[in-house]
Amino acid sequence: MSTATPDIDILPAQPFARQEGDVVSRVAHSLDQLQQLAELLAVEDGYVPAVRDFIVPKNFKLSVVIPVYNEERTIQQVLTRVAALPVPKEIVIVDDASTDGTRQILSQYECAADVHVIFKPQNEGKGAALRTAFRRVTGDVVIVQDADLEYDPRDIMTVIKPIVCGEADVVYGSRFLKAAGPLRVPATQNGTWSGPTTLVHRLGNRLLTAASNTFTGLRITDMETCYKAFRRDVIRSFEIQQHRFGFEPEVTAKIARRKLRVVEAPVSYTARGYAEGKKIGIKDLCNALFCIVRYGMWD
């Protein structure tokens, strides 16, 4: 009695070889990108990388989230400086459908180690970009970094320190504070904050912060700051609803409602004008006031 031999498909070796070659190619490309970042940092005249003055736990990782829209002039420099931070990290970049050369620049870093680039098909705003990024992060601490270099990435170490050291759940980097030993006091005219390019922005910022404090019960000095750092479980505990700059009052109100430990840390600031690409305006100011009232009352 004969037994039929079943048909056996033997996979050719070529696809595996091709796959292995692709992996090697991606690794090599990643190393090239890291080398490129290091070289870019080296040619920046007078730039001194940040120094870490605290201990990070074993296996700690920081997630730096960068929403981007039409920042071809500064995005590469921002990435270079963030990559130089002396802490284990990942960089999550969300391009909000840029129309200049930003997307082409970012496409070069898609394979770089610990750099995740997300391209959105249509422009929705900063809040929507951050919502996308927060779903992707894997770090223990998450911080927002703008792509326009108004904020110096070296200050990130100052902002995340209270969270890493177990002293806070959320930290806001305030442009109105200056360091004074262990205390943080309001900055004077000789402080580190250079102020917005127009009186409208300066007064608007103070108005919004005061209104936000009234509804939240917090006593912060700079609600509109870019530098907001969170424990990952905190920023994952609620969903961001605002698409644009309403993110700032929304997230502040939701944090306050959860009775989290919120502190501020002093940061520097170099303002830019509309000619240089500043995007926030009077319409956003009005929407922020609405969001302060809206999210100050309920989630």
Separation of alpha carbons 7 and 53, rounded Å: 65
pLDDT above 90: residue 4: no
Q: How many CB atoms lie within 10 A of CB 139?
A: 21
Q: What is the pLDDT of residues 266-294, one digit of tens each?
A: 999 988 655 554 556 678 888 999 999 99
pLDDT above 70: residue 203: yes
Q: Residue 15 corresponds to which tokens in the numbers above? A: 């696809």
Nearest alpha carbon to residue 143 among 62, 204, 260, 28: 62
Give the pLDDT confidence score for residue 201 in this predicted structure.
75
Percentage of residues in the chain having pLDDT higher than 90:
66
Q: What is the pLDDT of residues 73-99, one digit of tens each?
A: 999 999 999 999 999 999 999 999 999
Give the pLDDT confidence score for residue 54 in this predicted structure.
97
Q: What is the pLDDT of residues 95-117, one digit of tens each?
A: 999 999 999 999 999 888 899 99
* Predicted structure pTM score: 0.81
Give the pLDDT confidence score for residue 204 in this predicted structure.
82
Give the pLDDT confidence score for residue 163 in this predicted structure.
98
* Mean pLDDT, the chain, whole residue set: 83
Separation of alpha carbons 192 and 189, rounded Å: 8
Give the pLDDT confidence score for residue 216 in this predicted structure.
97
Q: What is the pLDDT of residues 242-267, one digit of tens each?
A: 999 899 999 999 999 999 999 999 99
| pLDDT band with cut points at 50, 70 and 90 for residue 123 | very high
pLDDT above 90: residue 29: no
Give the pLDDT confidence score for residue 272 in this predicted structure.
64
| pLDDT band with cut points at 50, 70 and 90 for residue 170 | very high
Give the pLDDT confidence score for residue 24 in this predicted structure.
56
Contacts for 121-124: CB closer than 8 Å, 24+ residues apart: 121/97, 122/97, 123/69, 123/96, 123/97, 124/96, 124/97, 124/243
Kindly state the average pLDDT of the residues 157-170. Answer: 98
Give the pLDDT confidence score for residue 179 in this predicted structure.
66
Please, how many CA atoms are within 13 Å of residue 174, restricted to the half-sphere of its CB?
23
In three-state secondary structure terms, 292 is: helix
Q: How many CB atoms lie within 10 A of CB 295?
A: 23
Kindly state the average pLDDT of the residues 174-201. Answer: 53
Q: Residue 181 corresponds to which tokens in the numbers above? A: 């030993």
Give the pLDDT confidence score for residue 291 in this predicted structure.
96
